[in-house]
């Protein structure tokens, strides 16, 4: 039998959550909301042969229901929504071939390997990534922008994301890159957009005006209310940064010229995902992402920083489920606006990609 028709080769998991029956198809990485009958039938599906239902206990399910469900699953298989057997992989180069690299359309430029803050959960050694603090110079900036354009081939829409550390520590070079890229885009009849990931503490009126003038997308970190934020996102002297960053964020929000998106990082002293996201949404931010702080395993001092113990991990799982349900309800109600970006893989080792209904 062709493997793709053989349900005994199907890799899936099923589970119940908040009264919903869920099917996860391993090879397509898709989640499905299924009805209870389908859920129960899945226990026998590996013995499925539509011409011989003897693998399914007599009298357990009405024959018509069995056939309907099996047909529906076949239909999903044919449409490629579920994947039975080994997924087809593209041919890989054998090592002797010249690999043609895909054209580039987006480049992240790290203009500052340094940071003016000392967040308690900082994962990159305050922007230095275990090296010495340094700022990009003009020469390297030109090379970076040229690299993007020279590798972009026919791509018409290009994007540069400025990153650090804190990229605004090197605002002059950021501006230089932006103007240089803008000119190259004009000359080459391409469109370029810019974004920045910033801690928000250096955003004065002049910088905000510049970023808005070049239509930057602005990603800023605010971890929730002032008490929690100020306990973890601190300057070198330990001062909290909440009022500084929220006032800059408020200006950007009020000007309505640049899109602003907020990222919150949670630690054991604030595990409350749903409330944190809701708090930030109530402040007026439409796009909010939240994630749990990364565990650190540093080569520099050989110390592993573990934030979450196993009880915290259980709490994370409960919070993720609570938030996922709110997220789903919002989507179904057509009112969802936030941007959901969680390290679910850390907790479940799998990341949901999409939902569908099998009824």
Q: Does 174 bind ligand SF4 (CB under 6 A)?
A: no
Choose between 127 and 224: whose C-beta lies nearer to ligand SF4: 127
Site string for ligand SF4, 197-236 (x = CB under 6 A): --x-------------------------------------
Cβ–Cβ under 8 Å, residues 220 and 263: yes
Whole-angstrom distance, CA of residue 209 vs CA of residue 242 = 21
| Of the residues 41, 141, 162, 165, which one makes contact with ligand SF4 according to CB under 6 A | 165
Q: Does 162 bind ligand SF4 (CB under 6 A)?
A: no
- Shortest approach of ligand SF4 to residue 123 CB, angstroms? 7
- Shortest approach of ligand SF4 to residue 159 CB, angstroms? 21
Q: Does 293 bind ligand SF4 (CB under 6 A)?
A: no
Q: Does 45 bind ligand SF4 (CB under 6 A)?
A: no
Q: How far apart are the first and last CA of the chain?
A: 28
Q: Does 278 bind ligand SF4 (CB under 6 A)?
A: no
| Of the residues 7, 10, 76, 126, which one makes contact with ligand SF4 according to CB under 6 A | 126
Q: Does 163 bind ligand SF4 (CB under 6 A)?
A: no
Q: Does 127 bind ligand SF4 (CB under 6 A)?
A: yes
Q: Does 319 bind ligand SF4 (CB under 6 A)?
A: no
- Shortest approach of ligand SF4 to residue 177 CB, angstroms? 19
- Shortest approach of ligand SF4 to residue 241 CB, angstroms? 9
Of residues 101 through 120, those in contact with ligand SF4 by CB under 6 A are 115, 117-119
- Binders of ligand SF4: how many residues, by CB under 6 A? 11
Choose between 133 and 352: whose C-beta lies nearer to ligand SF4: 133
Record the tokens describing residue 235, joined without a space. Answer: 């300057």
Q: Does 166 bind ligand SF4 (CB under 6 A)?
A: yes
Q: Choose one: 40-48, 61-69, 122-130, 242-250; the region binding ligand SF4 (CB under 6 A).
A: 122-130
Cβ–Cβ under 8 Å, residues 229 and 241: yes
- Shortest approach of ligand SF4 to residue 106 CB, angstroms? 21
- Shortest approach of ligand SF4 to residue 124 CB, angstroms? 6
From the list 292, 290, 276, the residue with the least C-alpha distance to 347 is: 292
- Using H for helix, E for strand and C for coil, what is the string for the chain? CCHHHCHHHCCEEEEEECCEEEEEECCCCEEEEECHHHHHHHHHHHHCCCCCHHHCCCCCCCHHHHHHHHHHHHHHHHCCCCCCCCCCCCCCCCCCCCCCCCCCCEEEEECEECCCECCCCCCCCCCCCCCCCEECCHHHHHHHHHHHHHCCCCCCEEEEEEECCCHHHHHHHHHHHHHHHHHHHHHCCCEEEEEEEECCCCCCHHHHHHHHHCCCEEEEECCCCHHHHHHHCEECCCCECHHHHHHHHHHHHHHCCCCEEEEEEEECCECCHHHHHHHHHHCCCCEEEEEECCCEECCCCCCEECCCCHHHHHHHHHHHHHHHHHHHHHHHCCCCCCCCCCCHHHHHCCCCCCEEEEC
| Of the residues 42, 122, 174, 264, which one makes contact with ligand SF4 according to CB under 6 A | 122
Q: Does 290 bind ligand SF4 (CB under 6 A)?
A: no
Choose between 117 and 260: whose C-beta lies nearer to ligand SF4: 117
Q: Does 124 bind ligand SF4 (CB under 6 A)?
A: yes
CA distances to 124, 126, 182 from 131, rounded to whole Å, are 10, 10, 31
- Shortest approach of ligand SF4 to residue 270 CB, angstroms? 15
Which residues form the interface with ligand SF4 (CB under 6 A)?
115, 117-119, 122, 124, 126-127, 165-166, 199
């Amino acid at each position: 039998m062709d493997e793709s028709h053989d349900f005994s080769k199907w890799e899936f998991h099923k589970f119940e959550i908040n009264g919903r029956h869920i099917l996860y198809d391993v090879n397509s990485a898709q989640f499905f909301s299924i009805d209870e009958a389908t859920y129960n039938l899945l226990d026998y599906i590996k013995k499925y042969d539509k011409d011989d239902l003897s693998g399914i206990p007599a009298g357990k399910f009405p024959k018509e229901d069995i056939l309907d469900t099996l047909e529906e699953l076949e239909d999903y298989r044919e449409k490629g929504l579920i994947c039975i057997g080994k997924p087809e992989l593209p041919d890989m180069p054998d090592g002797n071939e010249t690999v043609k690299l895909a054209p580039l359309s987006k480049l992240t430029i790290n203009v500052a390997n340094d940071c003016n803050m000392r967040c308690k959960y900082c994962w990159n050694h305050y922007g230095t990534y275990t090296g010495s603090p340094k700022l990009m110079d003009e020469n390297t900036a030109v090379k970076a922008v040229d690299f993007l354009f020279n590798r972009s081939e026919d791509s018409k829409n290009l994007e540069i994301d400025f990153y650090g550390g804190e990229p605004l520590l090197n605002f002059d070079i950021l501006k230089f890159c932006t103007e240089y890229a803008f000119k190259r885009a004009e000359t080459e009849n391409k469109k370029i957009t810019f974004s920045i990931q910033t801690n928000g503490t250096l955003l004065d009126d002049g910088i905000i005006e510049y970023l808005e003038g070049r239509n930057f997308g602005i990603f800023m970190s605010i971890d929730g209310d002032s008490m929690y934020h100020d306990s973890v996102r601190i300057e070198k002297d330990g001062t909290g940064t909440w009022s500084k960053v929220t006032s800059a964020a408020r200006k950007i929000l009020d000007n309505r010229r640049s899109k602003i998106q907020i990222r919150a990082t949670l630690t054991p002293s604030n595990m409350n995902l749903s409330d944190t996201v809701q708090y930030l949404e109530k402040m007026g931010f439409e796009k909010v992402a939240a994630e749990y702080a990364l565990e650190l395993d540093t080569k520099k001092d050989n110390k592993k920083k573990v934030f979450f113990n196993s009880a915290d991990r259980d709490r994370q799982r409960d919070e993720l489920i609570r938030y996922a349900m709110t997220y789903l309800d919002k989507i179904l109600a057509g009112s969802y606006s936030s941007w959901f970006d969680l390290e679910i893989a850390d907790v479940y080792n799998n990341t949901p990609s999409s939902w569908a209904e099998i009824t």
